[in-house]
Amino acid sequence: MEELSNTERLIVSYIRFHPPEDCMLDKITRGTSRSRATVLKYLEILHAKGILDFKFVGRSKLWFLKQAIPEKPEIISEPVDLDIQETKELVSAASRLHALRSKELELKMLIDSPDALIFTVNMHMDIITFNNTFDTFFPAKKNLRDIISSEQINMIENLTRSLSLKDNITLEIDMMEKLDIYRPYKISMQPILDDNETVIGIVIIGEELSRSRRTKRELETLLSIAQAASSASSEEQLMEEATVSIKDIIPYEYCTIFLKDNGNIIPAYETSESTAELLPHVKGFIEKSMNTLEAKSAGNGDFYLENVKSVMEDMSISLMLSIPIIDEDSAIGSILLLTTLTSVSSVSIENVEMAADELSGYLKMQRLTSEKEEFANTLLAMNQISTVLNSTSNEDEMLEKAVKSTINSLGFEMGCIYLNDDKEELTLRVHRNLPEGLKNMCMAGMFKDLFSKTLEKQNLVYITSESEEYESLEPAVKANGIRTMLILPIKSGDNIIGLLNMGSRQIKHYNDISLENLSSIGLQLGLALEKSRLAIKLKVESNRDTHI
């Protein structure tokens, strides 16, 4: 196994000594005490290195150590005609270059420490050589001035002038990993001398101080957010407590928590009503953060920040930050901070990332709790519909009671039933609590395109405001605040003879088992209708035989 960084070793060690069911993102995050964003990044790095692999279990990735099997290289030899006399100088040059490259590779391996930055600069602060660790955190940086403040550059230049061969100077500096986001390092500097013992450059070795820089107050703040996530009675309460705690980590003027809803980004909580009109101006900035699953910053002069300052009419804002809220390996939202600070430390960013993880965990638990409750409701609905169907044989009464029983059991606000008429066309038979506009549209047959999806699939249609199909619904459906729609096929044998439709102004979360339960309601209703119609047919035939 190739040399790994501390975080990589920690993740590999966790996966090696834990059972497979404990090797999903959430549990690895908790087990390694790192943020989701950090763990996700290193999981992908280890996967790219061929050290880890994964398989899907439901929607989650299960990570495991990959056993690499070396392949035998195929050696192909072809005769090459060379004119030795003409190529003598080329061979000699190639040999010297080979020796130099070999030496370079050897030296690079010597300085390739995963836990330290090792690089050299000349007297103009140009970065000449560097190890892989430096290149990982500061890619494409050409000059030390690109990553260190001018004050600290002046200090390094002054120290450089007084360096001698035996000097080894140690100091602490902040290095900019991203725009206006700094990470603290302890660096040691040693001079590079030419043959005349003149200083022509510096060797710099840097050790990250982030892990040791988390203060007692920061740890207490993170603990308070974790406690809030476990005890909050509502999503709003948690967001309120989390934003208060985040202000202790990064003092902000404005904070807004955005969440994804049907692919759209909407404000879920804001500390000031002034931020309500910000979304059109920050949407692109937030999306960049969510798409890359990493914190983004915008400082003075940045297009996004200048727009925000103009909209807010607050020129004191110097920095805008977006920290993604991550669930599994995708972002479900973002925490947007506007602050008067001109820069923040990477430790503070990681602390807010951990706060975002607590929000994500709470939202996931809410969803799972909702799925559990809805599952129980589907069982209740199945029992209730069975009781209704066994208590009456009159078709109209059966339909009325069926729609009432089902929407009440499942917690839907409205519902209706369509049945095929003599022309095999769907016709509205009964409805309950439909708004006047929707009722008129149902009676006019305005939802045929929507119903055709059920007929094509031969299965139920389940749409929420989080689904892609939601955008294609009739505007009147969305205008009435319907956020969950269920269309259950009523079947007689393999034929669909009608549809039971329900709408709710709440998002209802159903798992696959719950959806199967819901499908059975349509099957029960179809069977009851078939029996009722058969009984009527037999009664008519019996009466006709009697008259004959």
pLDDT of residue 359: 92
Nearest-angstrom CA–CA distance, 43 and 275:
35
Which of 7-11, 215-219, 303-307, 479-483 has the lowest average pLDDT? 215-219
| Lowest mean pLDDT across 72-86, 256-270, 302-316, 437-451 | 72-86
> What are 430-489's pLDDT values in tens digits?
899 988 888 888 776 677 777 777 677 778 889 888 777 887 788 888 888 898 999 898
- Alpha-carbon distance 302 to 304, whole Å? 6
Burial class (CB in 10 A: 0-12, 13-18, 19+), 341: middle
- List, in order of start, the domains of the chain with CATH numbers: 4-63 (1.10.10.10), 101-210 (3.30.450.20), 214-367 (3.30.450.40), 390-536 (3.30.450.40)
**pLDDT tens, residue by residue, 128-173:** 998 888 888 888 899 999 999 888 888 888 887 777 656 678 888 8
Distance CA 441, CA 424 (A): 20
Gap between the Cα atoms of 37 and 292, Å rounded: 10
pLDDT confidence of residue 71? 43
pLDDT of 548: 55
* Nearest-angstrom CA–CA distance, 330 and 40: 10
Mean local confidence (pLDDT), 236-256: 92
Please say if the pLDDT value at position 332 is more than 80: yes
376 phi, psi to nearest 5 deg = -60, -40
pLDDT band at 324 (very low <50, low <70, confident <90, very high): very high
pLDDT at residue 113 tops 80: no
Average pLDDT value for residue range 382-400: 86
Closest by Cα among 517, 485, 522, 487 to 504: 485
- Residue for token pair 């955190």: 137
Cα distances from 312 to residues 62, 305, 319, 468, in angstroms, run: 44, 10, 13, 33
Give the closest residue to 185 by CA, choosing from 163, 167, 211: 211
Mean pLDDT over 505-517 rounds to 89
Chain-wide mean pLDDT for the chain? 84
Give the rounded percent of residues in the chain with a pLDDT score beyond 90: 20
Lowest mean pLDDT among 162-171, 203-212, 313-322, 513-522: 162-171
pLDDT for residue 51 is more than 80: yes
**Residue 1 confidence (pLDDT) above 60:** no
Question: Torsion angle of alpha carbons 346, 349, 355, 361, nearest 10°?
Answer: -90
Length of the chain: 548
Mean pLDDT of 278-283: 88
